[in-house]
Structure 1
């Protein structure tokens, strides 16, 4: 079982010719809504990878809630751990340029009300994989890491979005997944040693005894364990929309760990899934099914 403790949003997406500069207004070509939130995205990715998933989080008592949960319900994700609050359902305001790049503003809403007491809904046990991100209160993330460790579960912490005050939490997770920008910022916060990113990754793994995974977009992914260093190239694609690619990677990576896949194979499979997610617009709608990932890996 994969237990995702995290955010649930409704994404409000505008497509524009190019992303605006500060203070600039640009014209949009289309507008759509889609379920989102890093927690929900990762839960859906894990479910589409073919494993059982339980979601723990919160939505508001508003018109956005049902749409925010729709694809999770369709994927048979266990939503018994999702509570309702009087705060609004979380929203993400997204602009996507013609080159596939994006800018995002997130309004936490109900996600800010996910508190340590809600972790009683996780029912975590030995052998489970607990997947976390930084879009709910850090106190809840820390409590979840501690609870999962005590239960003998494996923990995966995605460090997005960056919070300097979260640096101390990274050493509590069995696997830390960060993009290159986030890792560089956490490297400064943790005073990691080394002349380059790879050396700083090795320093983190050596200090903590944990595994650090750094995603590099089109350049693939690197990982440092206390005893090894791995690099996996990315699939060659022309991205349509990069929203949700990192979340797809995390969900598939957790699913691979849950299935007992070796780290190198888990990184390759998760990387392929993340690449495929860039070929369609939107976050959750673009997350590929396991069969699509199988086919992509065979083709490459």
Structure 2
């Protein structure tokens, strides 16, 4: 069982030929309201990959809440742990350009009121996985990690969006997920020199923190360094990118799903990398997340994946 403790948002998305410079107005498409939030994204990605998933989050007492929960509900994510807090559901204002790059402004809304006390006693236990991100109050995220670790669960933290995290904050974390930029930022924050490659950076982080560290590398796939000093690299699937929003969350959710069902790290990373690539090939975040069948079919069709 995977429990996701994290954010639930509405993504307000507009497409434009290029991203605006400071002070500039550019024409955009008709906007879309798409369910999002890193917590919700990762929960749905894990569920579509075949995991049983419980979402612990908060939405507002507004009309946006139903839209924010629609894909999770339709996908079969357990929403009994979702609370109603305050007037507004979290919202991300996203601009996507013709090169599939994006800018994001995040208003937390109800996410700022989420508490580790919202995790029901006994609901996370031995053999379970707790998946965490950085869009709800960090002290509550750490409290949730302590609760789950004490109960014998695996605890996975996605440091996204990036915040400077001190060494002691990783005490109850088993696995750290970052992208290549976040890996470099975390290394510098901890007084380490980032490597010339993603593999070097995660190796230094894993050695310093005594935790498994995984970095996504965009079109170059992903790389992990374990506490045993092993390095695992997997390629991305070759796709024509349409929208990169949510690709990292897809990787995190699918990775957690595979690990939760007992796969080894290399197997989980291969499927997570494929899923992240497939998510880039469609517009929007949650609507683009692939089902497990699509992931497995892509593995069969791509000679880069054994």
Please give the range of the TM-score, normalised by the shorter of the 2 chains: over 0.9
Give the C-alpha shift of residue 112 in structure 1. Answer: 0.3
Partner of residue 220, structure 1: 221
Q: Does the C-alpha gap of structure 1 residues 259 and 163 become closer, same or farther in structure 2, counting only changes over 3 Å?
A: same
Partner of residue 258, structure 1: 260
* SS at 2:34 equivalent: strand
Q: Does the C-alpha gap of structure 1 residues 75 and 195 become closer, same or farther in structure 2, counting only changes over 3 Å?
A: closer
Give the C-alpha shift of residue 271 in structure 1. Answer: 0.4
> Contact conserved, 1:180 with 1:215, CA < 8 A, in 2?
yes
Distance 1:259 1:252 in 2: 11
Give the C-alpha shift of residue 207 in structure 1. Answer: 3.1
* SS at 1:164 equivalent: coil
| TM-score scaled by length of structure 2 | 0.94
Distance 2:190 2:154 in 1: 23
Distance 2:160 2:4 in 1: 14
Partner of residue 20, structure 1: 20
Q: Deviations over 1:132-178 (max 9, x none)?
A: 00000001111111111111100110000011146643453111110
Number of aligned positions between the proteins: 300
Give the structure with the higher percent helix: 1
Partner of residue 94, structure 2: 94
Distance 1:65 1:166 in 2: 34
Distance 1:187 1:172 in 2: 19
Structure 1: gaps (5+ residues): none
Superposition map of 1:112-261 within 5 A: 112-120=112-120, 123-165=123-165, 168-170=168-170, 172-192=172-192, 195-196=195-196, 197-227=198-228, 228-261=230-263
Matched, 1:105 2:105: yes
Distance 2:223 2:281 in 1: 22
Q: Does the C-alpha gap of structure 1 residues 213 and 113 become closer, same or farther in structure 2, counting only changes over 3 Å?
A: same
Give the C-alpha shift of residue 236 in structure 1. Answer: 1.3
| TM-score scaled by length of structure 1 | 0.96
> Contact conserved, 1:194 with 1:200, CA < 8 A, in 2?
yes
Distance 2:292 2:68 in 1: 22
Matched, 1:296 2:298: yes
* SS at 1:237 equivalent: coil
Distance 1:195 1:279 in 2: 30
Distance 1:122 1:88 in 2: 30
Distance 2:175 2:165 in 1: 19
Distance 1:122 1:23 in 2: 51
> Contact conserved, 2:127 with 2:152, CA < 8 A, in 1?
yes
